[in-house]
Chain A
Amino acid sequence: MAEIVMPRLSDSMEEGTILKWLVTEGDEVKRGQPIAEIETDKANMTYESDTDGTVSELVAKEGDTLPVGDVIARIGDGDSRSSLAAGREQDEREEKDEEQDESEPEPDQRPAASGQQNGGERVKASPVARRMAGEMGVELARLEGSGPGGRIVKADVEAAAKDGGARPRERGPEAEPAAAPQRGEAGAKGEVEFHELTRLQQTVTRRMAESKATAPDFLLNAEVDMSAAVELRARLKEVADPAPSFNDMVVKAAAVALHEHPRVNAAYRDGRFELYSRVNVGIAVAGQDALVVATIFDADTKSLGQIARDARELIEKVREGRVTPPEVSGGTFTVSNLGMFGIDSFSAVINPPQAAILTVGALKKRAVPDERGRIVARDMLNLTLVCDHRILYGADGAQFLDRVRELLESPLSLAL
């Protein structure tokens, strides 16, 4: 009997949520077979069995959140399959005979060994029906028992399985969405389409609400003169493929500044500050009908060209849905850019539990006074730093943001 524990799927993962079991009790699994979808602090990922055997118990229910290392399932040697096969050949005659006399309730209400709960009410089922329901994935609570006193017996489970009644166990709140939108009437609003959330959308929903509800956030705005950066990029274009984008430069500048300002490369968590040694900058990417934050690890030590290549590859993977959990976890800071949509500046919701998120607006020529007070057209960029005041205070945030501006306005150091 092997115990499957909540795996550590990302370096910062402390607990995980079982989104969906891909197996039911009694299923035989092979090493490497996906058995569960688990939501970590960063992503949803499929977890594969590291052993062969029969799933004897799903300890964690869908929707349960458990610390890393807690038992979520047990996998045994699995020697009960042959009896199941024999049991399927049960004579159907039983069904005919099992008429139910409702006027005479069965006095036998003894609890059996394993419980199936349905709103707290115990489902009355025979031991063999319970065992087979577990093996066949039939939900006992949905069946009408034909045995004495309404007891669910083997024939009922077999009939349900034959009718396609076999289904995964009770679904958690994060169940697979319905494929097609449903329609309904909403009076003055006309016809309504209802779309169930994908699991990714559910995750976004929960984490964004959690962030807004818990982080006392404030904004810092800065205008950056990107003229030197524009010039640099024009020159880099001639030698680099891909040429670093302005966003890549922001990422690099932020990474360098993060290295110098540890309280920004940090998180407030469980009543204390967590300061991280690695600078892993996440870039928010729209994709999969939701929001995915892909991570550029050790961005402070990577060259601008490397960052550009990493970012390009990650964005492509997100859009194609190929991004893997490690690539969307482990971030210590996030950069979000809506400049491509012409947005001048904007606020964002902090990606919890990070201390801050940096938003990047559109690069635009603006009329600004030069050193001598003359109005000139310069390539300007708006940066907004959204800070969690529990860890990042105004002065600290301001110094960090000022350092980012300084780096972008003198971009040669970024190209090193």
Chain B
Amino acid sequence: MATMRYREALNEALREEMQADESVFVMGEDIGVFQGAFKVTKGLLDEFGEKRVRDTPISENTIVGMGVGAAMAGLRPVVELMTVNFSLLAMDQIVNHAAAVRYMFGGQVSCPMVIRMPGGAGHQLGPTHSHSFEAWFLHVPGLLVAIPSTPADAKGLLKAAIQDDNPVVFIEHETLYGQKGEVPENGGAARFGEAAIRREGDDVTVVGISRMAITAQRAADVLASEHEIEAEVIDPRTLRPLDLDTIVESVKKTNRAVIVEEGWPHGGVGANLAALIQEQAFDWLDAPVMRVTGADVPMPYSKPLEQAAFPHEEHVVQAALSTFRNV
């Protein structure tokens, strides 16, 4: 095991995959000379040269479109969009092309590309930089969606994403780049569709999306120490494919479910997951499936307001307690 930061784990995954496969290249705004807005592509330009580490103009739809074309032609592009919010400029290429070309051409071409994008709140970057759009991409058939919350998963899932022949939307969390964690040395690709049980418990299942998997674990510690409730914390790691079996199995054990996400409540990841849980585990539920979500507002710039607009441990604790009693 090596201890490294989330951004270093991503960097290592890119480097290893570029070393292993010449068809892998990276492309995006400020990723070469500037080494990326969050320094994920640090050192890659020096090691692999301008041909495989390409700085692009500010033109998201074009960047992704070039990636789609390159992927269809046989390369494995890893496209970086500076934030999730900017990905909306490229929705046509992501949804109408990347996700659909393999289907439209009956499997004659595929689109083995990765679209990396950091999202989430916490750095006071305001409503045009700080949102969580996992649900937007989860909505689209043909796209795989990864949401790593640890350095180990960041590395393992990015390697898996690059090796996969399907287009992958890879959502990193801005506040996690500096987080340290253990990463297996010479670790291979992780598996998509395999949830991680971060903490075992018998009383309530808490599913945390992206960074909220970490918030959920902190909440679980509070539930155990202050309320004698043992929460089982599940990090799905990928939303498509989703490891629903692990979640449903846990809910059948605990009879209670809380879903925590940073995104908006309506049409969110939690809304979808709550529907799946009640469809598959209705007769095992002791309480309504609870959701803890970001506030139903554009992300505020003001620090106190921004902090108030996404879930913290106490919100998760309250939601979990509400499945047991009035709180």
Binding site for B on A (CB under 8 A): 80, 83, 86-87, 90-91, 93-94, 96-101, 104, 106, 108, 113, 126-131, 147-149, 151, 153-154
Contacts and interface: CB of A to CB of B under 8 A. Distances in A.
Interface in B279-327: 282-288, 322-326
Given A91-B202, A91-B203, A91-B230, A153 B326 contact: no
A93 B201 CA distance: 12
Contacts of A148: 287, 322-326
12 contacts: A83-B252, A93-B229, A93-B230, A94-B324, A97-B228, A101-B326, A106-B326, A108-B288, A128-B286, A148-B322, A149-B326, A154-B286
A98 B229 contact: no
Contacts of B202: 90-91
Given A90-B202, A91-B203, A91-B230, A100 B326 contact: yes
Interface of chain B, main secondary structure: loop
A153 B287 contact: yes
Give the interface centre of A83, A96, A148 by most chain B CB atoms within 10 Å. A148
B201 to A, nearest CB: 9
Contacts of B227: 97
Contacts of A126: 255, 285-287
Interface of B: 202-203, 227-230, 252-253, 255, 282-288, 322-326
Contacts of B286: 126-129, 147, 153-154
A98 to B, nearest CB: 6
B255 A154 contact: yes
Contacts of B255: 87, 90, 126, 128, 153-154
Nearest to B252: A83
Contacts of A101: 325-326
A93 B324 CA distance: 11
B287 A93 contact: no
Contacts of B288: 108
A377 to B, nearest CB: 81
B325 A97 contact: yes
Contacts of A130: 283
B80 to A, nearest CB: 44
Contacts of A106: 326
Nearest to A110: B288
A127 B285 contact: yes
A95 to B, nearest CB: 10
Give the interface centre of B202, B227, B253, B286 by most chain A CB atoms within 10 Å. B286
A70 B285 CA distance: 33
Contacts of A97: 227-229, 324-325
Nearest to A108: B288
B128 to A, nearest CB: 36
A147 B286 CA distance: 8
Nearest to B201: A91
A113 B282 CA distance: 9
A119 to B, nearest CB: 25
A98 B325 contact: yes
A273 B228 CA distance: 74
A93 B252 contact: no
B200 to A, nearest CB: 12
Per CB-CB distance, the 6 closest pairs between chain A and chain B, nearest first, are A101-B326, A126-B286, A131-B283, A153-B286, A127-B285, A104-B326
B222 to A, nearest CB: 14
B203 to A, nearest CB: 6
B232 to A, nearest CB: 12
A93 B228 contact: yes
A176 B287 CA distance: 37
Contacts of A94: 203, 324
A128 B325 contact: no
Given A91-B203, A129-B286, 15 more contacts: A83-B252, A87-B284, A97-B229, A99-B325, A101-B326, A108-B288, A126-B286, A127-B283, A127-B286, A128-B255, A147-B287, A148-B323, A148-B325, A153-B287, A154-B286
Given A90-B202, A91-B203, A154-B255, A128 B284 contact: yes
Contacts of A90: 202, 255
Contacts of A154: 255, 286
Nearest to A99: B325
B229 A100 contact: no
A127 B284 contact: yes
Contacts of A128: 255, 283-286
A94 to B, nearest CB: 7
Nearest to A152: B286
B279 to A, nearest CB: 12
Contact of B324 (A86, A98, A113): A98
Contacts of A129: 286
B327 to A, nearest CB: 8
Contacts of A91: 202-203, 230
Contacts of B230: 91, 93
A108 B284 CA distance: 18
A100 B327 CA distance: 10
Nearest to A86: B253
Give the interface centre of B202, B228, B285, B322 by most chain A CB atoms within 10 Å. B285
Nearest to B287: A126
A127 B278 CA distance: 10
A288 B326 CA distance: 56
Give the interface centre of B203, B284, B323, B325 by most chain A CB atoms within 10 Å. B325
A55 to B, nearest CB: 16
A99 B324 CA distance: 9
Nearest to B326: A101
